Chain A
Amino acid sequence: MTGEPPSGRRPRAARRARAGPPDPFEVLGLERRSDLADADVHGAWRRIASATHPDREDGGDPARFAQAAAAYTALRTRFGRGEALADLADLAGPSRARAGTRQGVKTGWGWGGHRLAAAARLPARVRRGRPARLTLRVLAAVAAGAAAVLAAGPHPAAPALVTGVATWLVLTGRGDLAPREDIRAVTGRRRRRPG
């Protein structure tokens, strides 16, 4: 296995990626709407740039200025606004919990690392799946296994029935978990602005 272990401290870049970029609409003080006009965004940027520019007598607010510049760059066109809205929806949507589990991309964790990572993700998959149904299934399996052991007594059928119940649980319980794979693939290409 190569690379970092699945547990322990993650590098700063990983923590940053999890925090996500700031909401550009919020940075410019705009509503999250796809029908914003270019002039709305332009006006908001102008207002914030005037108030925070580092060349002001009071020194401005470089951090806020940098944020606003980045937000304006993202939102200045309708395409950019649409993509930003989709980004925000993506962050809030079901894929957020899957962040970092990119399918088809070698992360350098190796086979064992992937297994461990998959095991670590299991609680999240249970939570996002059908936990009540899965609990019932597990309870039923435990009850059936216990009943089989009690009924069969010290007979070879007892471990066999427990195996059968476990097989049934694994086969049917998978459907109650949220999907394992993240369908997001990394292309390594930056988004460009068409037109």
Chain B
Amino acid sequence: MQPKLTAKARCTDKEIGRISKVIVDPLSREISHVVIQVNHGGDRERKVPIGEIQEAVSEEEVILKCTSNEFDQFPEIDRDNYVTLKEVEIAHLEEHLDVEPGEILVPLPTLERGMPRRTFFANMTHAVGAMIALPLVFPVLKYLMKPMYRTFDNSWFNIGNVQKIKKENIGVQYKFTRGVKEAFMPEEKVTKNVWVVKTTPQVLEKVYGNKEKKFEDSTGKVVWVNKPNVPYVAFSGKCPHLGCGYKWRRVKKYPDGVFLCPCHLSVYDEAGIVLDGPAPRRLDILPMQLTASGDVKIIDIVYKAGVKEEIRLL
């Protein structure tokens, strides 16, 4: 039981005064001392360690272990060495202490008595608040999502001529420049990479498996079909693993040459099939057509990297 302020203090022989203050240890948050104001002693207040309290008879009275003569040995409090709780913040102190002289109560205004009024206005406030936010949700989401799903660009780009390719079944790099126009920005030129392979019939079969390859736009309409009898294949320059640029190289393990990606060492053969490395799928084939004079035209499709399926992004 914690001593109450203004509780009477008795020594073993007689009543000595009242508890006027309580001193708290800021670290342990326990009461370390009580300050007893001596009866008829004017302003005399003595600091008594809590251990000296023999028993707390009730909340109104405590009995000390000492006699009234021994009481005078306790030191007087030097008030300047202490601050009140209004001047210092001790965390969680209220949970440990209960030294108020009873609770301080404040009456509810008449209009706030009775729960129905409070709950009605509280609930209606929440409802109105939600109704202010709700109309904005859809427009804001659409606003933010506007550029996220752009329509596919199915324009053809001339990337060069097949005369460049001297040998069959090797990767030949073609660079082309295209314009990129984003929203309100002026058009910018970017250079991109495509790898073209002149294939023998066996390799061509590995590429297409004798089936046509259809390319569709976002609505599912077929934009182009690569026929399996054209002996040239154009591969997108981005590795399907994570989008790095790969190259045709001759390495010790594959002296005839392979497509090798330097980022995570995915290896593909001349048909684009994965030989080694973390690539989730084979090299991406681009829609391609050859003009009569041997110019190669492609649609610059970008596929999503890192997945097994072919998902078109642009």
Specify whether A and B are partners. no
**Which residues of chain B have a CB within 8 Å of any CB of chain A?**
none
**Which residues of chain A have a CB within 8 Å of any CB of chain B?**
none
